[in-house]
């Protein structure tokens, strides 16, 4: 028995390490998805609560966003001197997508803190509280996204088949925001001031990412070099470029996919390691 070949001994050992790195996290994750009725109901409820007393309901969001986009579009469009037919669609998609990203991340930081009472009384997978935040923000995004076709129709801007790429881009964007939330929600539960730091970072990123300005406005070489280090730039590209009639570059896709793979690996390992402690930090 003791004299097994090396590979036979090594293999199960490697598997043990792999499961102990992710086992708890994956179990929690699976159980969370299985109870989708919980986070779908609660996520929807979150929006319903906010807008219950207004006549237009959740479309209040859409209206707010439309006003913001119209204002920014007109002001910056004339400031930069770019034709509105090019500028406005780009800004619209940028702001709507950024709205999803930044709200998910900054609200996601408080996934556990805001669900404190529930966590301390009902046994449910921790991932449910994260899925709730994601659900809520995807639903809000769904309302806001209505502005995009509206703008395209008003400006009679054609959309090609290449636009279908943005669906894939959207999926990757949500996958990426999810690992960020998994990771940050744990840190923010332990260190309460990180939420504020993240909110600050997201605010800075809003200006650093080409949302209300175009890549073409940057001085040639400096611009591209700096932008390529901005992960949010690539996330925005894979959603926006196809709608603007241009396929994202292979580089964009690679960064986004790689970020998802590495990010999820780290986030799951992190979630796995601190899973037991989160409840004590509340």
Rounded-to-integer distance, Cα 7 and Cα 13, Å:
10
130 binds other proteins (CB under 8 A): no
Residue closer to other proteins (CB basis): 127 or 166? 127
Q: Is there a contact between 93 and 159 (Cβ–Cβ < 8 Å)?
A: no
Task: Give the count of beta carbons closer than 10 Å to the beta carbon of residue 48.
Answer: 12
27 binds other proteins (CB under 8 A): no
Residue closer to other proteins (CB basis): 191 or 251? 191
Query: How many residues lie near other proteins (CB under 8 A)?
Result: 29
191 binds other proteins (CB under 8 A): yes
* Binders of other proteins in range 91-120 (CB under 8 A): 117-120
Q: Provide the mask over 170-189, with x wherever binding to other proteins is found by CB under 8 A and - wherever it is not.
A: -----------------x--
194 binds other proteins (CB under 8 A): yes
User: Which of 5, 121, 156, 220 is the binder for other proteins (CB under 8 A)?
Assistant: 121
Residue closer to other proteins (CB basis): 22 or 264? 22
Among residues 167, 171, 248, 168, the alpha carbon closest in space to that of 215 is found at 248
37 binds other proteins (CB under 8 A): yes
280 binds other proteins (CB under 8 A): yes
Helix (H, G, I), strand (E, B) or coil at 223: helix
Q: Residue 116, class by beta-carbon neighbours within 10 Å (0-12 exposed, 13-18 middle, 19+ buried)?
A: middle
Q: Residue 166, class by beta-carbon neighbours within 10 Å (0-12 exposed, 13-18 middle, 19+ buried)?
A: buried
33 binds other proteins (CB under 8 A): no
The token pair at 150 is 């509206």
Residue closer to other proteins (CB basis): 120 or 161? 120
């Amino acid at each position: 028995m003791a004299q097994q070949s090396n590979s036979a001994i090594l293999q199960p050992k490697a598997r043990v390490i792999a499961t102990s790195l992710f086992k708890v996290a994956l179990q929690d994750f699976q159980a969370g998805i299985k109870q989708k009725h919980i986070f779908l109901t609660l996520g929807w409820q979150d929006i319903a609560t906010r807008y219950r007393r207004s006549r237009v309901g959740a479309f209040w969001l859409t209206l707010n966003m439309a006003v913001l986009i119209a204002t920014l579009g007109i002001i910056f469009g004339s400031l930069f001197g770019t034709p509105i037919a090019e500028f406005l669609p780009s800004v619209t998609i940028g702001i709507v997508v950024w709205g999803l990203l930044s709200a998910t991340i900054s609200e996601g930081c408080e996934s556990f803190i805001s669900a404190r009472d529930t966590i301390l009384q009902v046994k449910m997978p921790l991932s449910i509280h994260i899925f709730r935040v994601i659900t809520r923000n995807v639903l809000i995004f769904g309302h806001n996204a209505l502005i995009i076709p509206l703008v395209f129709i008003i400006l009679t801007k054609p959309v090609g088949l290449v636009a279908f790429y943005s669906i894939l881009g959207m999926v990757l964007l949500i996958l990426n925001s999810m690992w960020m939330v998994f990771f940050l929600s744990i840190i923010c539960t332990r260190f309460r001031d990180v939420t504020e730091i993240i909110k600050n970072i997201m605010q800075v990123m809003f200006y650093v990412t080409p949302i209300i300005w175009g890549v073409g406005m940057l001085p040639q070489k400096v611009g591209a070099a700096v932008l390529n280090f901005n992960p949010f730039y690539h996330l925005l590209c894979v959603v926006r470029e196809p709608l603007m009639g241009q396929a994202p570059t292979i580089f964009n896709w690679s960064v986004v996919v790689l970020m998802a793979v590495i990010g999820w690996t780290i986030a799951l390992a992190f979630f796995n390691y601190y899973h037991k402690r989160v409840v004590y930090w509340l």
